Amino acid sequence: DGGITQSPKYLFRKEGQNVTLSCEQNLNHDAMYWYRQDPGQGLRLIYYSQIVNDFQKGDIAEGYSVSREKKESFPLTVTSAQKNPTAFYLCASSIFGTGDTEAFFGQGTRLTVV
């Protein structure tokens, strides 16, 4: 079945560590996105990408980095520069360019700093 997979589901990080969240899709989508969700809050855009080897900063990119070496993969690294990384992270993908482009979400990764 086609879909978008995030791993791990839960992640614990010690202060000062970098951690990488995985996002893989087999929908053949060009566009991929990373969002951060804090309790009771909306979805804030971290990074987005339209094509391989190209990505743009979203509204809250500081302390995060991404790569897009393959069409199906868009990993997010939460660096030690992110001062408050505890949150629920959602990855999404969509077809690019048609206009009628529903976004499909992964099940999310809940990151906790310990």
Partner 1 sequence: QQPVQSPQAVILREGEDAVINCSSSKALYSVHWYRQKHGEAPVFLMILLKGGEQKGHEKISASFNEKKQQSSLYLTASQLSYSGTYFCGTERRIQGAQKLVFGQGTRLTINP
- d(CA 15, CA 93) in angstroms, rounded, equals 30
Alpha-helical runs (H) found in the chain:
none
Buried b vs exposed e over 24-49: b needs ≥16 C-beta within 10 Å?
Answer: bbeeebbbbbbbbeeeeeeeebbbbb
* Position among 76, 78, 92, 111 found at the interface with partner 1 (CB under 8 A): 92
Binding to partner 1 in span 60-89, by CB under 8 A = none
* Position among 44, 67, 71, 73 found at the interface with partner 1 (CB under 8 A): 44
* Position among 33, 34, 64, 74 found at the interface with partner 1 (CB under 8 A): 33
Q: Which residues bind partner 1 (CB under 8 A)?
A: 31, 33, 35, 40-45, 48, 50, 56, 58-59, 90, 92, 94, 96-97, 99-108
